[in-house]
């Protein structure tokens, strides 16, 4: 992939979370955006009736009470041959760099990825 914007680069995203976790930065913009994004996603799932109100309240409680260390970065390895039919190209209007190439994977299932957790 070429022309990857810093805000979409897995390497730079990892470094941002890693630095925030290592320094216990309670004012990390990246982590605060992540908290808001998780809650926004949960609200969308609630509106689509994919989760219950109890599920939503639980998610909000967990996000609001999560420690900085809970946002430690992880690497997800997703073999393309397992998800090829699920890839959706991000519309150019939503790209971090309009000259770049980004994809979304909807409905990722267990067994379609491996998670690697780094020690701090």
pLDDT tens for each residue of 81-101: 999 999 999 999 999 888 888
> Is 1 inside a domain boundary?
no
Q: What are phi and psi of 89, to 5 degrees?
A: -70, 135
> Is 113 inside a domain boundary?
yes
Quick check: 47 pLDDT over 70? Answer: yes
The total number of structural domains in the chain stands at 1
Q: Provide the whole-model pTM.
A: 0.75
Quick check: 106 pLDDT over 60? Answer: yes
Q: What are phi and psi of 51, to 5 degrees?
A: -135, 160
> Is 13 inside a domain boundary?
yes
State which residues form the domain around 81: 6-117
Question: How far is Cα 102 from Cα 75, in angstroms, rounded to an integer?
Answer: 17
> Is 83 inside a domain boundary?
yes
> Is 42 inside a domain boundary?
yes
Q: Are 22 and 8 in contact (CB under 8 A)?
A: no
Question: How far is Cα 75 from Cα 34, in angstroms, rounded to an integer?
Answer: 16
Mean pLDDT (whole number) for 104-117? 92
Question: How far is Cα 98 from Cα 29, in angstroms, rounded to an integer?
Answer: 24
């Amino acid at each position: 992939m070429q022309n990857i914007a810093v805000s979409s680069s897995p390497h730079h995203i990892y470094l941002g979370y890693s630095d925030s976790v290592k320094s216990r930065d309670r004012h990390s913009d990246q982590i605060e955006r992540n908290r808001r994004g998780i809650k926004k996603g949960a609200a969308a799932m609630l509106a689509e009736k994919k989760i219950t109100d109890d599920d939503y309240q639980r998610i909000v409680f967990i996000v609001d009470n999560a420690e900085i260390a809970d946002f430690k970065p992880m690497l997800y390895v997703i073999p393309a041959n397992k998800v090829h039919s699920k890839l959706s190209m991000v519309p150019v209007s939503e790209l971090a760099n309009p000259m770049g190439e980004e994809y979304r994977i909807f409905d990722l299932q267990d067994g379609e990825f491996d998670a690697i957790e780094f020690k701090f």
